[in-house]
Amino acid sequence: MTQITPTVDFDQDGKQVGWLKVPHSVTRSAYGVLPVPIAVIRNGDGPKLMLSAGNHGDEYEGQVVLTRMIQNLEARDITGTLLILPALNLPAALGTTRVSPLDAGNLNRAFPGDPNGGPTWKIADYVENSLMPRVDVVADFHGGGASLDYRPHASTHYGPDASDDHKKKSLDLVTKLGVPHVMIFERQNKTEGLPDGAIRQGVISIGGEYGGMGSVSRAGVQLVQTAVDRLLAGLGIKGELPENLPEPQILRIGGDAHVYAPEPGVFEPATELGDSVRAGDLCGHVWFPENPSREPVSVPFNGDGDVVCKRHPGRVEAGDCVAHLASPWQA
């Protein structure tokens, strides 16, 4: 069993704001803990939802919305249970980094975790084996981070063995979130992400990318807020869904969607987010200011689709993702 201990009672009605105490013994603090914040808001029996942000520490829109939610929401406002974790990988959130500065752990690559591993792996183990079994739906809000600029989308994830009913519930829920673009991930041969933990636990997994470039987008914050409000309404926890909801565009990412820098240099993109491209079209050039007589290297797209993600920093190393595409999803 994991060594993490909560300061909240998950079965108690009312509103509690406390911590998950993650053991972290170091020279400075032999019996130290990392206090990962958690709120439990419960009002009797009903739907159960876990909301998380800060899985990657440099993605902020979800952190803002969930922090504000903890301050403003009371148990009397809801039916059921909410578990809210606004800074899930706390060391990364405090360090403004994608991965934890304590153990270089990328939380969204650390599942199913290890109760005897580093802090990141302890958190992953606790989320999958102690928190997910308590809920019906998990919603984890991302935002591209410092290295990426995303066209915002909501997403849902399920495994190849998911029942038709599970797929239908997932798709019905994610298309009601008020985000114009929805990504469907049918995860095969993947084990390490938070969505994979949800799949193993039989829990509906909702996600998405709502910003990027390591900043806080006003539009992204509003999209996350709308998505949270719609989730609560769609699950019957709080509020009602608007009538006549527009249908979002439903997309998927294929195997040839990602484009990578072939060598170090400065990448100049040739497209904007939302552009439609075909295989062979120009993604951009890698330039070499340190060797100005050298011709730039052209970087093509490998597949067809819409540009939904672009690299933000100009300087690249070989293997850096500079863009990726998505294409219409077929059921």
The residue written with tokens 């067809």 in the block is 304
Q: Any bridge partners for residue 181, and if so which? A: 249
Q: Determine the Cα–Cα distance for residues 216 and 166; give it in Å rounded to an integer.
A: 33
Q: Does the pLDDT at position 205 exceed 80?
A: yes
Q: Please provide the CATH number assigned to the domain covering 256-328.
A: 2.40.50.100
User: How, if at all, do strands 5-6 and 14-23 pair?
Assistant: antiparallel
Q: Does the pLDDT at position 164 exceed 80?
A: yes
pLDDT for position 188 = 77
Residues 6+ positions from 72 with CB-CB distance below 8 Å: none
Task: For 103-122, give one letter per residue: b (16+ CB within 10 A) or e.
Answer: eebbbbebbbbebeebbbbb
The CATH number for 5-251, chosen from 3.40.630.10, 3.40.190.10, 3.50.50.60, 1.10.287.70, is 3.40.630.10
Q: Does the pLDDT at position 321 exceed 80?
A: yes
Q: What is the pLDDT of residues 57-87, one digit of tens each?
A: 999 999 999 999 999 999 999 999 999 999 9
Contact 245, 176 (CB under 8 A): yes
| Domain assignments of the chain as residue spans, ordered by start | 5-251, 256-328
Q: What is the pLDDT of residues 14-63, one digit of tens each?
A: 999 999 999 998 999 999 999 999 999 999 999 999 999 999 999 999 99
- Mean per-residue pLDDT, 261-285: 98
pLDDT for position 308 = 97
In angstroms, the first-to-last Cα distance of the chain is 39
> How sure is the predictor about 254, in pLDDT bands with cuts at 50, 70 and 90?
confident
Residue among 160, 191, 158, 159 nearest 172 (CA):
158
Question: Cβ-count burial of 186 within 10 angstroms (0-12 exposed, 13-18 middle, 19+ buried)?
Answer: middle
Work out the mean pLDDT of the chain and round it to a whole number.
95
> How sure is the predictor about 190, in pLDDT bands with cuts at 50, 70 and 90?
confident
Helix (H, G, I), strand (E, B) or coil at 6: strand
Q: Can you give the pTM of this predicted structure?
A: 0.95
Q: Does the pLDDT at position 325 exceed 60?
A: yes
